[in-house]
């Protein structure tokens, strides 16, 4: 009896999480679009391309392709004082301390 109750509770938890994830919105990117639709509309960067994360307007944004980072730099959303991170880094760093991104900032 207890085992069946545990399975039922676990299924309810999974269903709740799936519902929440499918109805999530990525602020400032595609407002008003459900998470599922956003996933279907977003191009997945190639596995070999670095995927960046950034803090923009006090929100973590990402993964971002290099071209998306370049666009955000051009729009002034990523500046030298913006924190960025990617896999392989031990901690978040200021964009000015990361050569690949600092180059984009300097070139404008």
Cα 41 to chain center, whole Å? 15
Residue 65 pLDDT exceeds 90? yes
Per the model's pLDDT, the better-predicted residue between 44 and 83 turns out to be: 83
CATH 3.30.1490: which residues of the chain? 45-108
Residue 75: count other Cβ atoms within 10 Å of its Cβ.
9
Q: What's the chain's average pLDDT?
A: 76
As a CATH number, domain 45-108 is: 3.30.1490
Query: For the residues 55-81, what does the mean pLDDT come to?
Result: 94
Report the alpha-carbon distance of residue 39 to residue 15 in Å, rounded.
19
* Predicted local distance difference test score (pLDDT) of residue 108: 78
Residue 10 pLDDT exceeds 60? yes
pTM of the predicted model over 0.75: no
List, in order, residues 6 or more apart from 39 with CB less than 8 Å away.
none
Report the alpha-carbon distance of residue 101 to residue 65 in Å, rounded.
12
Long-range contact list for 8-11, CB < 8 A, 24+ apart?
none
């Amino acid at each position: 009896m207890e085992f069946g109750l545990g399975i039922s509770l676990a299924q309810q938890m999974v269903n709740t999480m799936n519902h929440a994830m499918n109805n999530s919105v990525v602020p400032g990117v595609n407002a008003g679009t459900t998470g599922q639709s956003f996933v279907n509309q977003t191009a997945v960067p190639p596995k070999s391309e670095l995927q960046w994360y950034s803090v923009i307007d006090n929100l973590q944004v990402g993964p971002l392709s290099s071209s998306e980072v370049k666009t955000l730099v051009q729009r002034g959303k990523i500046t030298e004082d913006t924190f960025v991170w990617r896999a392989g880094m031990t901690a978040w760093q200021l964009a000015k301390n990361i050569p690949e991104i600092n180059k984009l900032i300097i070139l404008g």
